[in-house]
Structures are given as structure tokens and as C-alpha cells.
Amino acid sequence: MTDFPPVSRLLSQAPARVDDRVILTYDERLMRRKRLVTEGDIGFLVDLPSVTNLDDHWGFELDDGTTIAIVPADEEVLVVTGDLPRLCWHIGNRHTPCQIAPGHLVIRDDAVLERMLRGLGAEIRRARGPFTPESGAYGTGRTMGHDHGPAQGHDHAHDHPHGAVHHHGSHAHIAPEDDAT
């Protein structure tokens, strides 16, 4: 693997020449500092001034002029159809990132949300593809959702389709930890 200098700037649009690509999941596209490796085995360091949603950028330019495109990775998702305004409300009420398309919604695969949505009359199809949900309502940013995995603690309550309200222990919506591995 060849290591190049750190990223010199984020690119907002595609340059005339594209040298390589880095494929990142939705979670991986939110970062501040991390060492990445491209498809062509180019290692480079992203060291941004603050946690940044890379969905708002086309790619990176390295100090030596190398350009690297940011490509959303394929992920396990649920394609949701039905009464979309109602289903959107319930998905949003759970602070869940959601991709909105004509005639359907896309969320990450989540068994609890799948049961809830089916209980609300949604039709759901499993798929694998890039997950590019809506950004924050006030411009750039992220919906800081949560999952229902066993290792995640929460200190808020929310209802579920079976009528129960769940209270969870300590919870904070914090961006993923960055590292320079």
C-alpha cells in the first residue's frame, strides 16, 4: 500500500480527472480524522477541522493533486411503501435516517422498525444498495438516529407499535469515534 500526503481539501464537484475511489458506508461518511484506503490501495489521511458529513462533498484532493471520489457503499436496507406521510412521521419520530424517493422510503435494515412499519400497514422489501438519507433540515448535517441493538443504551422514552413505552438508560447522540488507524 502506498501512503500519500493528507487530504488538502474537500471537493464539492467532480474534477476533470478522477484518480481513484474510496467506498464508504453511511456511518463511515461522517468523520473528522481517519486513515482511509482507496480501491487502488492508496492510503491517505483525512484530518478535518470538525466532524463532517461527507455526503455534502464529491471527494478529496490530496496534497500531490491526486483526486479521490467518495462513493456510497452498498448496505442492507429496507424499501418501504404504503401510506408514506404516515410512515415518514413514525420513522422521523424515532430519529431514524431515511432516504425519500418517489413512491418509497429507504431505511437501514432494522428488525424493530420493520415490525413497527409492518404493523402500520407498510409493505417492505429487503434490498442491498447505497444508503443516502436526507440531511438535516437546517442545511448540512445528519439525523443522529439510533438503533435498537443490545449494546446501545438510551436515556429517553419512545413508544413502539405494540403500545409499550420503552425507557432506556444513558444515551447520547454522538458522532462515531474517529481514529487514525
> CA end-to-end span of the chain, whole Å?
14
Written as nine digits, the cell of 15 is 474534477
Task: Provide the sign of the torsion angle of the four alpha carbons 54, 125, 122, 104, taken in this order.
Answer: positive
- pLDDT of res. 168: 35
- Residues 78-119 pLDDT 10s: 999 999 999 999 999 999 999 999 999 999 999 999 999 999
Q: Which amino acid is at 97?
A: P
> Which sequence spans correspond to the domains of the chain?
2-72, 75-145
Which CATH entry fits the domain spanning 75-145: 3.30.70.790, 3.30.1330.40, 3.10.580.10, 3.40.1190.10? 3.30.70.790
Q: Which DSSP symbol is given to 163? A: S
What homologous superfamily does CATH list for 2-72? Answer: Urease metallochaperone UreE, N-terminal domain (2.60.260.20)
The upper half-sphere exposure of residue 150, i.e. CA atoms within 13 Å in the direction of its Cβ, equals 0
Beta bridge partners of 171: none
- With a CB cutoff of 8 Å and minimum separation 6, the contacts of 161 are 115, 116, 119, 120
Is the pLDDT reported for residue 156 higher than 70? no
* Mean pLDDT on 33-49: 93
Q: Report residue 131 as a C-alpha cell.
A: 444508503
Q: pTM higher than 0.75 for the full model?
A: no
